[in-house]
């Protein structure tokens, strides 16, 4: 199993390109199942989760061709199987996103039930209840969700009890080919949902209220293939900015967008960062200063994202003062705290809040990655620690960060991958 070795102490300095968004690429790949002709996707990140979704499409008989510039052509007209097997779903919960598209277009889907994961139980009850409201018959049998709609889905008025990103995406994709009008209330508003909706509109879908918490969808008979370029990854963007702030550095990130991470940029400014932005770039400069602690509370977009919480915990660990980080989305998502404390951080847990008393420096140690964003916090901690940090189980990082060690090396970090 690969490991990362980081020798801390170098402030990040330089310019890198931000990759396409994983969390937008995954639902857009699922949406290719809705198209009557080939889809041409650009700017998909080269990540394990994206490869898993492509394998899932391939195992259903979908044609997938990748060109030399990572452009992907996907043609679902050759589909001959409507199942997402356990082996693939267990490695990636987002496989559940094929449920809505398969059911609405082909009338059947057998998707392995996604289990829990390190950050909590993560049920899919809202996905299923929404599809039932559109007329689907759903049974859970032998670990599989078996959904049927032999005469197609029909529009419904559905209120989501919890703001769910994946639930909103699944139901939106189901609604675009359902008969009649669907209204999704209390919908998630994440930029990745806007990206998915924009792609669906380009395929011929009729969607009103894009970017709001109430989506109205008028079902159409068919959707056509189209060309679409996936948005930049706002969490990768936020991670490199936070890493630069923690190391007192200066970075310029290209091919990204400032408008999609306002809450994060405001918190970084509160921490003492000087931020400037252009149409497709963001620059952060700490002017050599230690960051100041900030309080953070995660909530659905446009509030502070849960996927940036662990990175801010790491920055607060070396900041001036005391900061509180409260997690409200997932029940067990402060798992990075114990590993950070092993590196000399002073963090105590009070329920779903981490109280972080900043220390001047951390000390390198062997640590273990436990989930994607928790791993990113360990990389940040390693870069501000004295001596060497060895991070084990980095397959978690590879699920969400394209070429992380190459990008950090370009920014001057002392980081290496070793085969374990
Ligand atoms: C997506 C993101 C993930 C991010 C999360 C929250 C992808 C591939 N992943 O995950 O990176 O951390 O949004 O921004 O885009 N819930 C239910 N019932 C349901 C669905 C969700 O109770 O049917 C709960 C979950 O357990 C969780 C909360 O709702 O507590 C939010 O989850 P959700 O927004 O659905 O997260 P994902 O779509 O899985």
Give the pLDDT confidence of 177-192 residue by residue, as tens digits: 999 999 999 999 999 9
Q: Supply the residue whose CA is at minimum distance from atom 20 of ligand 1.
A: 124
Q: What is this structure's pTM?
A: 0.97
pLDDT of residue 114: 81
Report pLDDT digits (tens) over 119-168. 555 789 999 999 999 999 999 988 899 999 999 999 999 999 999 999 99
- Which residue is catalytic, options 117, 199, 226, 403? 117
Pair of tokens at residue 213: 């918490």
Query: What confidence tens digit (pLDDT) does each residue in 191-245 have?
Result: 999 999 999 999 999 999 999 999 999 999 999 999 999 999 999 999 999 999 9
Q: Which residues pair with 84 in a beta bridge?
A: 111
Burial of 28 (0-12, 13-18, 19+ CB in 10 A): buried
**Ligand 1 center to 234 CA (angstroms):** 17
How many angstroms does the Cα of residue 371 sit away from the middle of ligand 1? 15
pLDDT in tens, 332-391: 889 889 999 999 999 999 999 999 999 999 999 999 988 888 999 999 999 999 999 999
Tell me the three state secondary structure of residue 109.
strand
**Closest ligand 1 atom to 22 CA:** 8
CA 21 to chain centre: 7
Is residue 76 pLDDT above 80, yes or no?
yes
Supply the mean pLDDT for the chain.
Answer: 95
Any ligand 1 atom below 6 A from CB of 171: no
Q: Is 191 in the pocket of ligand 1 (CB under 6 A)?
A: no
Which ligand 1 atom sits nearest the alpha carbon of residue 300?
14
Lowest mean pLDDT, pick from 107-116, 188-197, 265-274: 107-116
pLDDT recorded at residue 119: 54
59 given a catalytic annotation: no
Where is pLDDT greater, at 273 or 374?
273
The SS3 of residue 403 is coil
**Angle 321-325-330 (CA atoms, 0-180°, nearest 5)?**
165
Distance CA 341, CA 209 (A): 45
Cα–Cα distance for residue pair 91/191, rounded to 1 Å: 24
Mutation test residue for ligand 1: of 44, 158, 165, the one with most atoms within 8 Å of CB: 165
Give DSSP secondary structure letters for 295-317: -EEB-STTSB-GGGHHHHHHHHH
Among 87, 15, 6, 115, which Cα is nearest to 389's?
6
Q: Whose CA is nearest to atom 32 of ligand 1?
A: 164
pLDDT band at 104 (very low <50, low <70, confident <90, very high): very high
Distance in Å, CA 122 to ligand 1 centroid: 7
């Amino acid at each position: 199993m690969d490991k990362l070795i980081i020798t801390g102490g170098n402030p990040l300095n330089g310019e890198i390109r931000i990759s396409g968004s994983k969390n937008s690429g995954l639902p857009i790949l699922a949406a290719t199942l809705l198209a009557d002709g080939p889809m041409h996707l650009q700017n998909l990140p080269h990540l394990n989760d994206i490869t898993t979704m492509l394998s899932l499409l391939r195992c259903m008989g979908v044609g997938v061709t990748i060109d030399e510039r990572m452009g992907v052509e996907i043609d679902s007209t050759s589909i001959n199987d409507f199942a997402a097997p356990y082996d693939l779903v267990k490695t990636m919960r987002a496989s559940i996103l094929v449920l809505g598209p398969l059911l609405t277009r082909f009338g059947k889907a057998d998707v392995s039930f996604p289990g829990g994961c390190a950050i909590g139980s993560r049920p899919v009850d809202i996905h299923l209840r929404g599809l039932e409201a559109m007329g689907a018959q759903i049974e859970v049998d032998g670990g599989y969700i078996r959904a049927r709609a032999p005469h197609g889905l029909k529009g419904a008025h559905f209120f989501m009890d919890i703001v769910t990103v994946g639930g909103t995406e699944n139901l939106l994709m189901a609604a675009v080919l359902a008969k009649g009008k669907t209204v999704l209330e209390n919908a998630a508003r994440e930029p990745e949902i806007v990206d998915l909706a924009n792609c669906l509109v380009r395929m011929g879908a009729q969607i009103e209220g894009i970017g709001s918490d109430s989506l109205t969808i008028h079902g159409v008979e068919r959707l056509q293939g189209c060309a679409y370029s996936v948005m930049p990854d706002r969490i990768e963007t936020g991670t490199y900015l936070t890493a630069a702030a923690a190391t007192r550095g200066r970075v310029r990130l290209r091919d990204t967008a400032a408008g999609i991470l306002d809450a994060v940029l405001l918190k970084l400014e509160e921490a003492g960062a000087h931020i400037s932005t252009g149409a497709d770039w963001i620059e952060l400069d700490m002017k050599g200063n230690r960051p100041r602690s900030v309080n953070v509370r995660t909530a659905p977009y446009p509030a502070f994202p849960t996927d940036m919480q662990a990175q801010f915990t790491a920055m607060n660990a070396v900041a001036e003062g005391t900061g509180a980080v409260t997690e409200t989305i997932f029940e067990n998502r402060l798992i990075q705290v114990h590993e950070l404390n092993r590196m000399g951080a002073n963090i105590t847990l009070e329920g779903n809040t981490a109280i972080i008393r900043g220390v001047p420096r951390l000390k390198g140690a062997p640590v273990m990655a436990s989930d994607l964003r928790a791993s990113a916090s360990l990389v940040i901690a390693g870069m501000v620690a004295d001596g060497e940090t060895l991070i084990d189980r980095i397959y978690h990082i590879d699920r969400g960060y394209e070429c992380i060690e190459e990008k950090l090396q370009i920014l001057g970090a002392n980081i290496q991958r070793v085969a374990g």
